[in-house]
Structure 1
């Protein structure tokens, strides 16, 4: 029979960075794990969290049914710290509709053209911040894929880039310490940015309505989903669908691409092979860099009492709690050799020697089972294309003297760099 939660230790004095000042969010949870073991309770900001790290606990975590312990609700509760509620209310096409096979092929075609534009902007030589470069590349690809005609070029593109940089939902976990100020402002800057997005997307909708241009692909499906509504409601609804899709889809992928380029720049022998077109190696490098760069808190919002096996006993976790694990505390420590970058540890999409782990679920780049990221095939294809193109075109020289570090307060998603990661480049 499940037992009471009181059998689990409570991590006294440990808070999460949305609620209390925390210098290094991952280190704070790591310290609690060292003191209290692989399963413990964190009470922060009036909310209760069960953290679990044992092999059985992690397997139990991935086995949780969505209807009683929801990833979707946990993600929503995270993102709404940053984004206005209007972004979420009444959506008709959600980010989980993004990855149909025909859509993915069109996204990769848009990425190819976005890389052409990136190369034109870079020219033959110069210097650039890798993470700013990949972020801009992601904006261009995404907006070409689902934001409507003309939105990935010229001044309309620049307006949307400025707006989406303000609307970046990943700030909720990259800069959780800033969320109190966002709340205090009643999301004033975010609401203004959302209005700007609606204005730009509205102009694209009017072009499609007039027959001036065609609105195919995902944008066409979004437009069709709002066809029965009066014009003002329809245009705003289309814009909000586009906004949610864009903020939910691009930033982690392009951060992972940034780390893949950092790691390849630091391993020039591998970079030369990728530049020569070794797509299998490029994909394995993408997996390995994503694994190493993970700062994700994997969380499930408990909607109805669940019996949860921590590895030392089964406990009843009531509605209102969050069950969580933290990938950076597993990905680099679940086996002795995981603390360094080595793409040869991957075979296709899987670890080559997962049997050496106490559980294969202790290490991941994109999640496990039904909770795997649905964007994994596309993300790996996109990172493979981008690293092959950029390294094939440019010789990159690192401008840093030690491996870049993540934002210390970050607790979620793929790491963002705490500082500028500048590279010198010249055409090969």
Structure 2
């Protein structure tokens, strides 16, 4: 089945999971330039309908999940990297992460993680910005849901190694490596999962009903598996924790990294944040996330849908993927959007949308049902992290040119192509 009426077809364009692409975002931008704001392409046996028009993007965000699913599209992407068994039989899902009481506990764990980070860094030295924020995010997440002892010492270091191997974002950060992952039978990923099971199993043994209260997420995960056969319990608990950690931490770490990079590029902003301007820190986080977005927003069509793009209404059959690409909208939908300016934000929204054909064309965390459910937590965590680190250290960027994203990346928040060293000295 095909889309009706027939959109322009970008036969010369493929996606980086399936063909060699030097610049994934550039390839889609080039197709848009040649074929217009709405076009179809076929890549690796999958059919895509891309839309970039104001009406088309609004229609995209309005598609009902039960007919065109973001959840299924995300799963189909992540399974390129992660073992299929990780998704089977989960009892506590990432969507349950952000209850009010949970978020308060996570932010308390973030403060403890920041204190340990400062201890690890010592009074002076040099560190890669994204190595720093990735390790910090691992520590906060594992303290929040992985059980006793998992955020300190040897257990923590082993889990960091395992989760760096299990990083599901590789599916869209390094899509060109997914054929190799598949050819290996995901051997390294399965070995890393076994490591997680072993370490989390020891934490369950230590648990004995006292891990910070019966409502903690770790306790809820353990409790959810109490009726399972003994040989399934530890693996089920560990897999729930693994999927939660994979789904929640890697983009946050990258967003904190870019916020640090951008603030260090603007010393006046850094000085105001150190002086206590929390609102500026939050606006910096929004602006850096907007500019760092490399997300392909996609919906897998499960039942026929209509997509109104303004100049046509397309009937899209099941099996197709409807998509748009945030980096092509976030920086071009109005003048000057390619520059960093935290003053363009008020609260969680753009202060002035008068130059936009639609407010849906620019976003940091998505729109409507596509909004990231962790946005309030993420902004609080990013604000807390950058404020604590900048207040603890005088930091000097060591890059000679502004860092570039990984060229093949097509999804999530950008990862830096090269190292981004920061020299630091305790204040």
Q: TM-score range by the shorter chain?
A: over 0.9
Q: CA deviation at 1:277?
A: 1.4
* 1:145-182 Cα deviation digits (max 9, x unpaired): 00001000000101100100000000000000000000
Equivalent-residue separation in structure 2 for 1:247 and 1:213 (angstroms) = 22
SS where residue 179 of structure 2 aligns? helix
Aligned to 1:356, the other structure's residue is in SS state: coil
CA deviation map 1:362-399 (0-9, x unaligned): 00000001210000000000000001100111111111
C-alpha contact 1:305 1:318 (8 A) present in aligned 2? yes
CA contact (8 A) 1:207 1:213 kept: no
2 CA distance for matches of 1:426 and 1:36?
A: 52
- The match for 1:369 is 368
1:7 and 2:6 correspond:
yes
Matched, 1:238 2:224: no
Please name the residue that 2:408 is paired with.
409
Cα distance in 2 for partners of 1:411, 1:307 equals 25
Q: Which residue of 1 aligns with 2:225?
A: 226
Q: Write the distance in 2 (CA, Å) between the matches of 1:106 and 1:388.
A: 19
Ranges of 4+ aligned residues in structure 1 off by more than 2 Å: 3-7, 211-216
**1:181-214 deviation digits (Å, cap 9, x = unpaired):** 00000000000000000000111111124x5766
- Answer yes or no: is 1:38 the counterpart of 2:37: yes
Contact 2:295 2:327 (C-alpha < 8 Å) held by counterparts: yes
Q: Is 1:99 aligned to 2:104, yes or no?
A: no
The C-alpha deviation readout for 1:20-78, integer Å capped at 9, x for no partner, is: 01010000000000000000001101110000000000000000000000000000000
Aligned residue number for residue 136 of structure 2: 137
User: Which segment drifts farther, 227-236 or 331-340?
Assistant: 227-236
Match of 1:196 in 2: 195
8 A Cα contact 1:49 1:323, kept in partner = yes
Task: State TM-score, norm by structure 1.
Answer: 0.98
String of CA shifts for 1:278-324, please: whole Å, max 9, x gaps. 10000000000000000000000000111111221101100000000
Pair 213,76 (structure 1): closer, same or farther in 2 beyond 3 Å: closer
Unaligned 5+ segments in structure 2 are none
Paired with 1:94 and 1:145, the residues of 2 have a C-alpha distance of 14
* Alpha-carbon distance in 2 for matches of 1:215, 1:21: 50
Q: Which moved more, 1:302-311 or 1:93-102?
A: 302-311
Matched with 1:152 is 151
**C-alpha distance in 2, partners of 1:121/1:294?**
30
Alignment check: 8 A CA contact 2:3 2:317 kept: no
Deviation per residue, 1:10-29 (Å, 9 max, x gap): 00210000000101000000
TM-score, normalised on structure 2? 0.98
In the TM superposition, 1:54-133 aligns within 5 A as 54-133=53-132
RMSD between superposed Cα atoms in Å: 1.1
